Each structure stands twice: as C-alpha cells, then as structure tokens.
Amino acid sequence: MPIYNKKSFLLPDSINSVACYHGKIDETGIYKFTIHDCKSGIRLVGNLNDKQKRREAPEKFRTLAKACLEFADFIENNYLTF
C-alpha cells in the first residue's frame, strides 16, 4: 500500500501556538490522523484493508473538514467585528 506522512503546525508563524496535525498511513494500511493543541489532542484511527472502512474514511474526513469550515465561518462572521 502507498504510504502517507505529513505534519504541520496550524499557525506556523505564531510564537504562541504549538497546535499541529499529523496524518499518516503506514505500509500496512493503518491510518492515524492526529490534531494537537498545547494541552490535548484527538486521534482518528482506521484500517484501509477493510473494504467498508476504506469507503467510509474519505467521508469521515470530509465531514470533519466541513464542520471545521462552518465553525471558522461562524467565528469570522460573528466575532471579528469586536
């Protein structure tokens, strides 16, 4: 299986934030996507060898991405005017 390994800070130019993400798919087909801030983190884990889970994985991440965009839009539209 193809491997994937990418990580980055969410605010690379900030001296106040260590928030980051790390997405990884290893050679066995296990994926881990981790999001960390300075105090805690979450990790989504899955197995791309299972046909059903392989079909569900993109939807899982697109749903999460959509929720993040909606949340960012809400903040931008309601809090940046203060």
CB 5 within 8 A of CB 24: yes
pLDDT given for residue 81 in this prediction: 78
Sorted by where each begins, the domain ranges of the chain are 4-79
pLDDT digits (tens, 9 = 90+) for 22-45: 999 999 999 999 999 989 999 999
pTM: 0.89
**pLDDT classification of 1: cutoffs 50, 70, 90:** confident
What's the chain's average pLDDT? 96
Quote the DSSP letter at residue 11.
Answer: S
Report the first-to-last Cα separation within the chain, whole angstroms: 49
Q: How many residues does the chain have?
A: 82
User: Tell me, what amino acid is at 74?
Assistant: F
